[in-house]
Structures are given as structure tokens and as C-alpha cells.
Amino acid sequence: MAPQKPADVAAKVETTKKEVKPVVDKITVGHVHMSGCTGCLVSLADNYGGLLTILDKYADLVYGLTLADVRHIQKMDVALVEGSVCINDKLSVQEIKETREKAAVVVAVGGCACYGNITRFGRGGQQNQPAHESYLPIGDLIKVDVYIPGCAPTPQQIRNVCVMAYLLLKGTKEQKDLATAYLKPLMMAAQRGTTACFCDLMTEVINQGLCMGCGSCAAACPVRAITHEYGKPQGQRDLCIKCGACYNQCPRSWFSFDVVSSYEAINEAIMAALQ
């Protein structure tokens, strides 16, 4: 005779219902992995509790290698794309095009997706696909809406964009305005182009008479390629990995008084959103 379930357990099973979605108005987000090292995804995960809050309250992860149980690119509000596109690989090309078709907002996350980054140095010859030698930033194949440069992009920058994307799509008028103002420079970065180098500091900042020697670029560089000579940045060409962090961190590349002047309120709002 099969063992009988105790009465209280049987009762519990009956009352358990399928979990109701606690927040109806979440946005849908996917992580699309092209040719990258997964460092961007690790950065996203490095938000720890903050990431769980984002997934609890603001965003459903509808696509993501190993993270979401789906094979194909889904329809989604925001696609976070990591890595550049190997144009020698049909599937990669197909997937990036599909991402553009299915996502309302495409965010290039990290140096590879934005500017090619370290994959710019690809020459092929790697097992088990030695013919894979040509890599392009996603902006060379599709229109990209928002850039998050850097190698790796920081957990805080990815977090800020996620919160702002939610406010843009689901917020009140006031929140939409804030999100638009916040995202604007990152959208302009996406329009600016698909190449980056420490030499942007030379051509776009020093040569343009805009550098004042604050030091942001040297702090932002992930490979310590930047020092200062006469108070102005000096890059070591052979070290630069083309991630775009220095130029985009520079207060004289782009600077929004509207947004930055309210830094206290915006930081507090983001922290509150993640509580």
C-alpha cells in the first residue's frame, strides 16, 4: 500500500497556486551574446542584489545564453548585446539582424559591441573555427540605439541604463523626461560611430582646445595606457584596446548640465529604485 500523505501536507499542496506576476508592467530584456568574453554579462551579474531587484521589479529576462530557457531571439523591449559580430559566421550575422527586428531598443553593451574593442585585433587561426577572423562592432551591421562603452562596462553603468530604460518605457511623464535626458549622451555616442581609440582624446579633445587636464581618462582606462604629460593625456598606442572608456568618461567629450547638475537627486532615485 502506498504511504499516505499527512493531512496538512496534502492541504498545503492544494492551496499552492502558480505565482502571480508581482509587477504587471515589467519591461522585457534579453542578453544577446555575440563575440565577446562574457565579461559584460559578469558585470551585469556583479550588481548582485541590485540585479535581483531589477529582475523582480522592472525587467523580465526573456532571452540569454544559459540564463533563460529559450533557443531563439525573442521579441523584447530592450536587447543588451555583448560582443562584436563575426561576419564569417552566418548564425551570428543572422542573430544580430534578428535582434534588431525583435527588439525595440538595442543597447551595445561593452567595448566590443560598440567599437570592436579587443576583437579589432582578431586575425583568425583560432581552434575550432580558424577561419573566423573578421569581427565588426554591431553598429556596422544594424542601427544601435544606446552605447555602454568600456571594457568591461561597469555594473553601475549597466544598472543605470536598465533603470533608465524602464523609466523611459513605463514611467510617468517626468520620469520619461529624466530618462530621455540621461540616455541622450549614450544615444549620441551610438550615432557618433563604431571606432574608438585613446587618440580620440587627441583629435576630439586636445586638438579641439577642450582638454583641461582633469585626469578622468587615465582613471577610466582599463589597461593603464594613459599617463599625463604637461597635464595632458598621453596614450601608449600599443596598450590601447579600443574600448572607448577614456573618451566617453572625459567631461569634455560630452557633458549635460541638465543631468549632471542633478547628480544628487538622480543617484538617490536610482538607489531607491533598487531597494
Partner 1 sequence: MGAELGIYKSCVSARSTDKEILKASQDGGIVTQLFGFALDEGIIEGAIVAVSKDFYKKYPEKCMACYADDTKEPFRPIPAIITTKAELMESRGTKYNISPNVSLIKEATRSFGLDKVGIVGTPCQMQAIRKGQLYPIGLRDVGDKIALAVGIFCMENFPYQSILQLVEDHAAMSMDSVRKMEIGKGKFWVYGKRGQVVQLPLKVTHKYEQPGCHVCLDYVANLGDISTGSVGSPDGWSTVFVRSKIGDSVWGKAMAAGCFETQPIEKVKPGLELVSKLANEKISKNKKTLEERATFGVGKALRNPYI
Contact set with partner 1 (CB under 8 A):
43, 148-150, 152-157, 160, 182, 184-186, 188, 204, 208-222, 227-228, 230-232, 243-246, 248-257, 259-261, 263-264, 266-267
Q: How far is the CB of 144 from partner 1 (least distance, A)?
A: 16
Report the residue number, 89 or 204, with the smaller CB distance to partner 1: 204
For partner 1, the closer CB: 106 or 225: 225
- Give least dist CB 139 to partner 1, A: 17
Least CB distance to partner 1 at residue 270 (A)? 9
Nearest approach, Cβ of residue 178 and partner 1 (Å):
11
Give the 3-state secondary structure of 29-66: EEEEECECCCHHHHHHHCCCHHHHHHHHHHEEEEEECC
How far apart are CB 29 and partner 1 at their closest, in Å? 20
The residue (of 106 and 161) whose beta carbon lies closer to partner 1 is 161
Q: Name the packing angle between helices 263-273 and 173-192 (round to 10°).
A: 100
Between helix 155-170 and helix 263-273 the angle, nearest 10°, is 90
Q: Which is nearer to partner 1, 76 or 168 (CB)?
A: 168
Burial class from Cβ neighbours inside 10 Å (0-12, 13-18, 19+) for residue 193 reads: middle
Residue (54 or 86) nearer to partner 1, CB: 54
For the beta sheet containing 59-64, the strands, ordered from the edge strand earlier in sequence to the opposite edge, are 59-64, 27-33, 76-82, 103-109, 146-148
The nearest distance, CB 126 to partner 1, in angstroms, is 28
Give whichever of 76 and 226 is closer to partner 1, judged by the CB atom.
226
Which has the closest alpha carbon to 141: 175, 210, 94, 76?
Answer: 94
CB of 18 to partner 1, least distance (A): 38
**Euclidean distance between CA atoms 165 and 183, whole angstroms:** 8
Contact present, 188 and 272 (Cβ < 8 Å)? no
The DSSP element (H or E) to which 188 belongs, if any, is helix 173-192
Nearer to partner 1, 124 or 231 (CB): 231
Phi, psi for residue 132 in degrees, rounded to 5: -80, 100
Whole-number Å distance between alpha carbons of 167 and 165: 5
